[in-house]
Amino acid sequence: MNTPPLMKREKVEHILRAAGVATGIDQFVLVGTAAIIAWRDVVPPELAMSRDIDLFAYDAPNAEQVSDLLDGVLGQASNFDASFGYYCDGVGSESALMPDDWMTRSIRFSTPSTNGVVAIVPEPNDIAISKLHAWRPKDIDWLRAAVGAAILDVDVMRSRLSAISDPRADKVILAERLDVLARPPIT
């Protein structure tokens, strides 16, 4: 059985650098599984099992076009993906359901290897709320692993539910899912 590839900091830096070249934009928001890599030097492997990073152009007047360009040039099945084995998923800002004040807790991720391209990266508990909303098996596995590694805090996530105004958010269901995460996994 093949082990899924791990996203690593060097790959995130490479994709950010390539996204800047492809779009002429020097600031993106990094959401999804790979965002944890910007927050921690050491990431448990089960939190980094991904071939892609999710980026959107924050404040770009043509954000949807930028997303399409990222997908075409750096996306899955692109020449970039074929060459390197990882890719960029150009997403929209609506793809990440987070508390309205997420930006106040975000960090700016940039290294010499990103050539001036900056990723705004939401705090892990904010990203986790988006995964809580999606609740796909891979999201549940990621959430459980991150809670188990003390990277996420169920009580912190619960406290942030009140700061979500997105109409897609069913806060009762999100709270129930947090209850599930708070219980020890069945072994």
Confidence of residue 3 (pLDDT cuts 50, 70, 90): low
pTM of the predicted model, to two decimals?
Answer: 0.94
pLDDT of residue 186: 73
The residue-averaged pLDDT of 151-173 equals: 97
**Amino acid at position 22, single letter:** A
The residue-averaged pLDDT of 18-46 equals: 95
Instruction: Please check the confidence at residue 83 and state whether its pLDDT lies above 90.
Output: yes
Confidence of residue 40 (pLDDT cuts 50, 70, 90): very high
The residue-averaged pLDDT of 119-132 equals: 97
pLDDT of residue 58: 84
72-95 in b/e form (b: 16+ CB < 10 A) is ebbbeebebbeeeebbbbbbebee
